[in-house]
Amino acid sequence: MTSAFTRRRAAAAVLTAALLVPLSACGNDGDTRTDSSTKGTASAAGAPKADLTVLAASSLTNVFKTAGAAYEKAHPGTKITFSFAGSQELAAQVKQGAPADALVTADTKTMDGLKSDTGTPTVIARNRLVIATVEGNPKKVDELKDLADTKLKVVLAAPEVPVGRYSKKILDAQKIVVKPVSQEPNVRAVLSKVELGEADAGLVYKTDAATATGKVDAVEIPDAQNAIAAYPAATLKTSKSSEAAAAFVAWLSTPEAQKILQDAGFQKP
């Protein structure tokens, strides 16, 4: 009788173990699926996974596409979508509650005006201005004062745009009066006007002119007459993936990201 009881207990134990194995396996599969689809979970590279939206200044368009691809490759499970526009437009979007996770502007003034909406900003790069001219520089624009020639079609960014503000600063400092044929909402629009031959010259960032090599010429502006643009990056307090957003912002200061920025012509922070 004891032997039969013992056999029954042993059989029950084997059956219980057999049932627990598939249950345990199902539990692990379920956790894996949940982790892979939930924002804020850890990726293989150690940073939280997320679908991030980053608002970035127009002048970062080319380099951030490269940087974003590099970040996604190093952080499996993370996808970054960029929204590029003039910094003043980005600030307006933030104020209006646009769903986004991080912000990078082309000046500290715009970022400082959003202190209640962002985390602590970090400058990730710097830039400088050049005079963009039609390819071959047919109008022989050699220096800033040449932009005052009324026969010259000059296009500038609007004064509320960072590059427009920098342009006004350096022109005012040299007491140069320029009457632009148009004032554009961002630096890429200025570059496009020159590239298409709709303007003879315009003030843009050095990195933007570099993206149009073979289409426009870049006339250097001496350091003493130039302005340095700073690019601060910060997380947005409304982000639903704050840890992942902070990880991306922090990554922008790493050697890998800095190499990408500097290879594109940006200066060290």
Contacts 24+ apart (CB under 8 A), 170-174: 170/129, 170/144, 170/203, 170/221, 170/225, 170/226, 170/227, 171/144, 171/147, 173/225, 174/144, 174/145, 174/225
The residues near 93 (Cβ < 8 Å, ≥ 6 apart) are 55, 83, 85, 100
Cβ of 115: how many Cβ atoms within 10 Å?
A: 11
| pLDDT the model gives residue 48 | 76
Instruction: State the Cα–Cα distance between residues 216 and 192, nearest whole angstrom.
Output: 10
| pLDDT the model gives residue 95 | 96
128-228 maps to CATH 3.40.190.10:
yes
pTM: 0.81
In contact, 82 and 74? CB cutoff 8 Å: no
**Residue 73, SS3 per DSSP:** helix
Instruction: State the Cα–Cα distance between residues 243 and 259, nearest whole angstrom.
Output: 24
> If the chain, 269 residues long, is cut into consecutive pieces of 10 residues, what is the mean pLDDT of each piece?
42 39 33 32 58 97 98 95 96 96 97 97 98 97 97 96 97 97 97 97 97 96 97 97 96 98 97
| pLDDT the model gives residue 5 | 38
Q: Which residues of the chain form CATH 3.40.190.10?
A: 51-126+230-263, 128-228
51-126+230-263 maps to CATH 1.20.140.10:
no
| pLDDT the model gives residue 196 | 96
| pLDDT the model gives residue 115 | 97
The amino acid present at 242, given as its one-letter code, is S
Instruction: State the Cα–Cα distance between residues 241 and 39, nearest whole angstrom.
Output: 6
